Every structure is written in C-alpha cells, then in structure tokens.
Amino acid sequence: MKYFACDSDGDYNFFDTEDEAIKFAKDAIERYRDDAQDGYELWDDVERVCWGVVKQVAKECNRRDKPDMTGMSDEEIEDIESEFGEFEYLVDYQLEDLDG
C-alpha cells in the first residue's frame, strides 16, 4: 500500500508508510503556524493540507509506434505526420489499481 500527502502548494508526495504521510502533513501545518507568527495570513490555505491512501495510479497504455514511412505516398506520410507530429510514438493513460 502507498500513501500520499499534499501541502497547500499542491505538491503531492508519496510515502511507503502511513506514519510518513501523516508526519509530512503535520509538518506542513506546523510551517503555517511558523508563518503566522511571522505575520503571514495563510490560514485559508492550510485547509488544503491532507494525506490519504493511494488506490490507483495513471499507467501508460495503448502505445502506438510511428510507422516506417518508406514507400508511402505523400498523402499517407502527411496523415502520419499530422497524427504523430515530432513524436516517435503515441500513448494513452488509464487509472489502474496500485500494485502491492
């Protein structure tokens, strides 16, 4: 199982243990306390601090390699170049259950 924690800047961090994720979140809250003592009013942002369990992650799928265009007509080459642009392959992504 993997865990995550997020601070108010939207920085997600991943952890192997629940305790590490909780510590990160608590430390982020503590930074708000320190900033408040220095006169910063950021308490609205502190409510974005969170931690949780990672259930699924984005994984690459449906990879398509750019075909060899040797011997193709100009129209076929144009279609492929239009689809692939400068890339040698295209992929899609889907959410999958986290392994382990």
Please write the tens of the pLDDT for every residue from 19-66: 999 999 999 988 888 777 766 666 677 888 999 999 999 999 999 999
Is 47 found in the same domain as 22?
Answer: yes
Q: Are 67 and 29 in contact (CB under 8 A)?
A: no
Determine the structural domain holding residue 13 and report its residue range.
2-54
Is 35 found in the same domain as 24?
Answer: yes
> By CB neighbour count within 10 A (0-12 exposed, 13-18 middle, 19+ buried), where does 40 fall?
exposed
Q: How many domains does the chain have?
A: 2
Is 74 found in the same domain as 36?
Answer: no
pTM: 0.68
Q: What value does the mean pLDDT of the chain take?
A: 90
Q: How confident is the model at residue 99 (pLDDT cuts 50, 70, 90)?
A: confident
Is 14 found in the same domain as 49?
Answer: yes
Is 77 found in the same domain as 42?
Answer: no
